[in-house]
Amino acid sequence: MSDTTVQNPALEQAEVIDPELDIMAKAGVHFGHAKTKNHPAMMPYIFGMRNTVSILDLVKTKAHLETALQHLRETAAKGGMILLVGTKPSARKLILEMAEQTAMPYFVERWIGGALTNFKVIAKRVEYMETLEREKMTGELEKYTKREQLKKSEEANRLKKFFNGLRRLKRLPDTVFVVDVTQDVTAIREAKRLRIPVVALVDTNSDPRGIDFPIPSNDDALPALRYMLGRIGAAIEEGRRHAQQASQAKEKEIEQQDTAAAL
């Protein structure tokens, strides 16, 4: 691979063959890091360089994206829980929006060590947070002194900052999605230790090894993140709709059987 300016074949063919590649290119999905920052394991996904900036092959990006989306759809369709992890500042708002859209648990603050590998303890912290919130709402905190009330209120706020996104996670997730594998390496390590599949965006400075469903992509630029997280959120939503339809069909079947039995 030379350092000369090259064109990504996906960019050249986008308008003729696949408009989706053109959309990804306009979002900047193909822009990686400088050559000096590239991870050796990412070389198969890099087509060339443009003014010292690595250019990802969008044809490969699309193929890996489709594989990852299919896994996410199937997981959601089975009623599975997908933990969304995006602790870097540029991803937090997008992850929060996707979590609200898909009703999935999330992590947007610093990853808490043991969030997965020591899940029972973390679950108790979440439960305690909800207890404090309930006591405040019902007025039960008033039985404590003002100093104790202040202390409990501060504790509730601290717990909410880190664990608010785990309210829906009543058990270990079925899949973990990570925006930046270099930022949240501990989350990935814990998921792998528990054999939980990981879907992740992998920029040119990332190590894709150990990621079950790597998606070669710019993980810094906001337009690229919007595009990728938009596709991922839509896939999860599609899977959830299938799950709801299957549940409704099952309920209808049971209702019809009960009606037939009563006749």
Q: Structure pTM?
A: 0.86
**What are the backbone dihedrals phi and psi of residue 3, each rounded to the nearest 5 degrees, phi first?**
-90, 10
Within-domain flag for 103: yes
Q: Which residues pair with 85 in a beta bridge?
A: 107, 178
How many folded domains does the chain comprise? 2
- Residue 153: predicted pLDDT: 87
Looking at the fold, whether 153 and 243 belong to one and the same domain comes out as no
Greater pLDDT, 261 or 109: 109
37, 147: one domain: no
For residue 162, pLDDT beyond 80: yes
Q: CB–CB of 61/30 below 8 Å?
A: yes
176-195 pLDDT, tens per residue? Answer: 999 999 999 999 999 999 99
Residue 100 CA to residue 200 CA, distance in Å, equals 20
Does 124 lie in the same domain as 85? no
Distance CA 262, CA 161 (A): 53
**pLDDT score of 24 more than 80:** yes
Interval 162-183 mean pLDDT: 95
How many Å apart are CA 209 and CA 8, to the nearest integer? 24
3-state SS of the chain: helix, strand, coil percent to 5? 55, 15, 30
Is residue 196 assigned to a domain? yes
- Residues 23 and 66 reside in one and the same domain: yes
